[in-house]
Amino acid sequence: MVRQWLRVWEARKWMKQNEGFLPTWHAYLGYRLNLFDELQQNGTVSAQVNDKELLENWVQTGLILGHLKKDGDRVYPSKQMKNYFSKKSDVAIGDLLVELMELHIPSLMDYTPVLTGDAPRRSFDGDVHGTAVATTSSFIEQISYRSVKKVVSEISCETILDIGCGNAGYIRRLAHEFPHKEFVGIDLNKAVVEDATRQSEGLTNVRIEQQDLRDWDNEGKLFSCVMMHNLLHYFSPVERMELMKNIERLLDENGGISLITPLYLSDHGQKFSAAFNNFLSVHDNLHRLPTAEDIEVLAAAIGRKVDSLKPIVKEGGWYSIVIK
Ligand SMILES: C[S@@+](CC[C@H](N)C(=O)[O-])C[C@H]1O[C@@H](n2cnc3c(N)ncnc32)[C@H](O)[C@@H]1O
């Protein structure tokens, strides 16, 4: 009898735990389909919606969660939704939820068919998700920029290469602060490079190229600093060795490497990095996160050492690492 009551108690705990997912789903949908924007403008949603009943459910849920507010027979988004889940807002974070809902959750759900052998591992499609991933990476940039700037100053870098530069946020900020230093960013994703180039217009000390590092001909040019931020998981552990050798070829003898990456099984953020690691591992073209020991081995492979390794986002296990 007691066992049966404990069973119900355990079930209740799991049901309650999953309630926390509802606001994420609701905010994601409102951002994805511009529903908050439309409510803000019209007080009602007249969007081309196929299923009015589902839309009504979404509105009701928004009122329950406090994401939406009623004013007579009109409905408006709360201040929080208007700020962070409107495509028109300059502080929107909706892309984070798009990445979570359309990339991470489906990937985790694919563990079943992949584990049972009913499906191959997934392939990460940079053409579909590259822009959202570059946008969400820029949240880490906001937090880690100061530490990257310190690294660039300490190594006295004059020429800086950013591999997998994404939307080039790091080099653009640095280029403003250090107008006499030269910055080159490469990224293999066409849409991301176009966006980075557009945003960097007018910065004469920045050059951005669509290149795959693996076959980039740098025409013998050497850099005093190479940045690789959130890039390692695009390379398998074996390919990372090759990557380091490639970088050594581009690096000045006295130069240094700035790495930003989540570390697996580190002192901080183990739950977050485990979630990220599970997502990465179910792909055939994304790879498990490195550990701190892996980084030491990579540095040693090119005759260098880890000079510093500091957490920058503790809850996410993100580290800023300098190799000299
Ligand atoms: C997660 S994003 C990080 C962007 C940026 N570094 C940041 O931290 O904000 C990683 C980027 O690396 C690029 N990338 C992956 N493999 C690459 C390669 N072999 N050569 C050049 N870029 C690559 C991807 O296209 C993607 O834009």
CA atoms within 13 A on the CB side of 323: 28
CA of 168 to the centre of ligand 1 (A): 10
> From CA 293, how far away is CA 230, in angstroms rounded?
17
Nearest protein Cα to ligand 1, atom 4: 166
- Burial zone of 210 (CB within 10 Å; 0-12 exposed, 13-18 middle, 19+ buried): middle
The C-alpha atoms of residue 247 and residue 22 are separated, in whole angstroms, by 45
Residue with the nearest Cα to atom 12 of ligand 1? 164
**Distance in Å, CA 188 to ligand 1 centroid:** 7
For residue 213, report the distance from its CA to the centre of ligand 1, in Å.
10
Closest CA to 160 of 231, 242, 258: 258
> Could you tell me the distance, in angstroms and rounded to a whole number, from the CA of residue 79 to the centre of ligand 1?
34
Q: Please, what is the average pLDDT of the chain?
A: 95
The predicted-structure confidence for 42-83, as pLDDT tens digits, reads as follows 999 876 788 999 999 999 999 999 999 999 999 999 999 999
State the distance from the centre of ligand 1 to the C-alpha of 268, rounded, in angstroms. Answer: 24
**pLDDT in the model for residue 119:** 98
Predicted confidence at residue 154, as pLDDT, reads 83
The angle at the Cα of 171, spanning 165 to 174, to the nearest 5 degrees, equals 160
Which residue's CA lies nearest to atom 23 of ligand 1?
A: 164
Residue 266: which of 243, 238, 244, 294 has the closest Cα?
294
Whether the Cβ atoms of residue 93 and residue 57 lie closer than 8 Å to each other:
no
Mean pLDDT per block of 10 residues along the chain (324 residues) reads: 95 96 98 95 83 94 98 96 96 94 96 98 94 88 93 88 96 95 96 96 96 91 95 96 94 94 95 96 97 97 96 94 96
CA 130 to centroid of ligand 1, rounded, Å = 9
What pLDDT is recorded for position 236?
Answer: 97
Q: Which atom of ligand 1 is nearest to the CA of 133?
A: 1
Q: What is the pLDDT of residues 104-151, one digit of tens each?
A: 999 999 999 999 999 999 999 999 998 888 888 889 999 999 999 998
In this structure, the residues whose C-beta lies within 6 A of any atom of ligand 1 are 126, 130, 133-134, 137-138, 141, 163-166, 169, 186-189, 192, 212-214, 229-231, 234
| Residue 96 in tokens | 């984070």
Residue 316 DSSP one-character state: G
Which of 124, 232, 234 for mutating ligand 1's site (highest number of atoms within 8 Å of CB)? 234
- Residue 47 is predicted with a pLDDT of 64
Show the domains of the chain with their CATH numbers.
2-87 (1.10.10), 126-323 (3.40.50.150)
